[in-house]
Amino acid sequence: MTDHREMKVVIADDDRTVLALVKSILQANGLRFVGEALDGNTAVRMCRELEPDIVVLDISMPLLNGIDAARCIIRYNSRIKIIVITMHTELCYILESLRAGITGFVTKDKLASSLPEAITAVGRGETYVRASGFHGY
């Protein structure tokens, strides 16, 4: 994968406040933000058009949730790396994300500290999971 500062990043979340926060984190870390979506269907379409290196997806979005959107994106282009951001801390969400081919999992309360790390890690081909308040089954 390319230098993390050259990576193109698309973000998708139905909360405009979270979108703004993620954009500011990307910009503060010198990352190229290339598009945003408010739902899973738009995120999938945008990934086909823009072919980003990394997509940051909320799990809970309208029209198509983040995990199903990730499956569609990966099926279309398996080189695109996916990081999900969520408030869900249950093990079932982490496992389902990993099974879908998602390589990054960050809880929203850890965005500022963990998202740059997650982008760097998945860009290197690693799996990255940071979930605060983790709950098993």
What are the domain boundaries of the chain?
4-130
Task: Give the CATH fold of the 4-130 domain.
Answer: Rossmann fold (3.40.50)
pTM: 0.89
pLDDT digits (tens, 9 = 90+) for 41-79: 999 999 999 999 999 999 999 899 999 999 999 999 999
pLDDT in tens, 10-40: 999 999 999 999 999 988 888 888 999 999 9
The number of C-alpha atoms within 13 Å of 119 and in the hemisphere containing its C-beta is: 30
| CB-facing half-sphere around the CA of 88: CA atoms within 13 A | 19
The single-letter DSSP state of residue 110 is G
pLDDT in tens, 80-113: 999 999 888 888 888 899 999 999 999 998 888 8
12 closest CA partner among 53, 69, 51 = 69
Provide φ and ψ at 113, rounded to 5°.
-85, -30
